[in-house]
Amino acid sequence: MKFTVPSKTLHNFASSVSKVINAKNALTILNNFLFSIEGSVLTITACDGENMLCGRIPIMDVEGEGEFCIDARRIVELLRVMPEQELNFVIDEDTLAVEMSHPNGSYKFMGLKGSESAFRPQQAVGKPSGVQGSGFGSSQRSGIHLFCGRYRYASSADDGCVLGHQA
């Protein structure tokens, strides 16, 4: 799999989604993001065992689809100190070796199989449907979605609004 994404966009979404991750988890898989690539959309999912937060980001130059897990703290820290630039991700689907390259260098780290992930957005309340109303037409493709108990929350990156409704 391959894709390209702006570093600050990825950092903003990753740091927002990472807020649901606890400092100490009984299951080490909960320290990871689930990255899912479907079409030209990257979905970043984090979970603490009860609550789940998903961010959807449009990506470019996509080759392949699939999912993998990577250490959340490591990727957020790398992105935090990185200037605005395009990041190219190359994921070896056999070994799950992840290479994140940019004009000034590259980072390599190992991923985990997405199928071994302890969380799935579908398990919480189903895939979030597009929220209708002003400013929310693109929330299915881009934005932050929180699955918590019986309620679903969506925030569009376009207008900063937050909407909660019963699932």
pLDDT digits (tens, 9 = 90+) for 107-148: 999 999 887 665 655 444 444 433 322 333 333 445 555 544
Is 0.85 surpassed by the pTM of this model? no
- Examine the pLDDT at 91 and tell me if it is beyond 60: yes
Please give the pLDDT value at position 117. Answer: 64
Distances (CA, A) of 11 to 27, 75, 98, 100: 24, 8, 17, 13
Please give the pLDDT value at position 153. Answer: 41
Mean pLDDT of the chain: 77
Please give the pLDDT value at position 149. Answer: 42
For residues 91-104, give the mean pLDDT: 94
- Examine the pLDDT at 30 and tell me if it is beyond 80: yes
Higher pLDDT, 141 or 9: 9
Please give the pLDDT value at position 150. Answer: 35
Lowest mean pLDDT across 18-27, 88-97, 155-164: 155-164
Please give the pLDDT value at position 103. Answer: 92
- Start-to-end C-alpha separation, the chain: 33
For residues 24-53, give the mean pLDDT: 89
Please give the pLDDT value at position 144. Answer: 57
For residues 8-37, give the mean pLDDT: 89
Please give the pLDDT value at position 119. Answer: 60
Please give the pLDDT value at position 25. Answer: 77
